[in-house]
Amino acid sequence: MTSRLEQLKQYTTLVADTGDVSLIASLKPQDATTNPSLLLKAAQQEQYAGLLQQARNGHEGDAGQAATAFAVAVGLEISRLIPGRISTEVDARLSFDEEATYAAALQLIGAYEAKGLGKERILIKIASTWEGIRAAERLEKQGIQTNLTLLFSFAQAAACADAGVFLISPFVGRIYDWYKKSTGQDYSGLDDPGVQSVSRIYRYYKSNGFNTVVMGASFRNLGQIEALAGCDRLTISPELISQLAALDGPLPRLLSAEQAGEARIELNEAAFRWAHNEDAMATEKLAEGIRAFAVDQRKLEALFA
């Protein structure tokens, strides 16, 4: 029987959630995504020692620029192994500064283009703050496509769709983590709050004709992935991809574009901030995620100091 991984690929585009080029070469995903945490991990691996040194030599005395150069170098290595796109993240410390986020995105695109990789192969990852969404809206109008990350609330998803962003990455596992800790109970399958959040967003987008791609991210177990079979894309760790490849048995499609969703809503800044604020989980996890990525960004820069 066909493995569950191969069945999933019939419904959903798979993206590798790793910066390890050897794993990407073996898994052969369509796209790949990185973040400061994955880049920090990559920087400590022997296979990246040469890229690390090149970035250090090329930007001596400027740890921030060296870290950016390293991120682009890793992205270039990955891009050679995949047919699709590489996602590269803007510094999380810029999450509440629209102008700085916009400028950093242009710098990343420029750095890639200088190395021969066009913007059609790149997604700029930006935190789903109000400021990040506004910066993404401006980038999209210039043909630079974006991946809005650290997305936890329905308000964030609705605002991203209104802004015309290319793709969102709702964090299934982190939503699950919050509810498990908050309630003291475990969740599985369709009862998982992370699965329910992504399913709601997916149906809202499809029923209202939004073109924004929904890419579930941050998975804790196979049940979460299987419950989202049919989602536009799923970004999955190499460990979970390997587990799916080793399993047989039927994997039904649970999400499809024909399913009914909620009526469209439009949010101005005040309405967005209030709706997001009303979701305690989303408020806490967004702040926590930004802080954690900022910590890893500083650790990465310390390697070049």
Question: How large a percentage of the chain has pLDDT more than 90?
Answer: 88
198, two tokens: 């992504």
Catalytic positions, please? 125
* Residue 147 bridge partners (DSSP): 125, 167
pLDDT of residue 300 exceeding 80, the answer is yes
pLDDT band, very low/low/confident/very high, at 1 (cuts 50, 70, 90): low
Q: Quote the pLDDT of residue 226.
A: 97
Q: What's the CA gap between 62 and 138, in Å, rounded?
A: 28
Angle at 215 between CA 250 and CA 200, to 5 degrees: 80
- What is the spatial distance between Cα 52 and Cα 118, in angstroms, rounded to a whole number? 23
Q: How confident is the model at residue 177 (pLDDT cuts 50, 70, 90)?
A: very high
Pick the range with the lowest mean pLDDT from 21-25, 206-210, 225-229, 269-273: 21-25
Q: What is the mean pLDDT of residues 196-223?
A: 97
Q: What is the mean pLDDT of residues 179-185?
A: 97
Give me the pLDDT at residue 78, please: 93
* 17 pLDDT tier (thresholds 50, 70, 90): confident
Answer whether 0.85 is exceeded by the pTM: yes
Instruction: Give the C-alpha separation, 80 to 58, whole Å.
Output: 22
Spatial distance between the Cα atoms of 86 and 84, rounded to a whole number of angstroms: 7
| CB-based contact 281:289 (threshold 8 Å) | no
CA-based nearest residue to 298, from 46, 43, 58, 28:
43
For residue 188, the one-letter residue type is S
Which residue from 291, 267, 269 is spatially nearest to 154, judged by alpha carbons? Answer: 267
Give residue 61's pLDDT band: very low, low, confident or very high (50, 70, 90): confident
Pairing of β 213-216 and β 86-89: unpaired
pLDDT tens-digit readout, 104-157: 999 999 999 999 999 999 999 999 999 999 999 999 999 999 999 999 999 999
Give the architecture (CATH level 2) of 4-302: Alpha-Beta Barrel (3.20)
| Residue spans per domain, the chain | 4-302
Nearest to 174 by CA among 197, 208, 143: 197
